[in-house]
Structure 1
């Protein structure tokens, strides 16, 4: 009998990055970061 486990990862790069003082991402930058992380 085999069981398959599903693992889900959550990345907070964008959220944590924008909480840093003086950091703000444009929508295209956010899309680029998300694509890079995938």
Structure 2
């Protein structure tokens, strides 16, 4: 099964969030960085 672009972005954004220590309110920033 091939991973869609959106699924890949979700995983990358989540990884960025974890790397930053789970900050609140930065979801849109992480999403843009993941793109």
Verify same fold: TM over 0.5. Answer: no
Q: Which TM class, normalised by the smaller chain length?
A: 0.3 to 0.5
If asked which structure has higher relative contact order (CA below 8 Å, sep 6+), I would say 2
TM-score (norm 2): 0.35
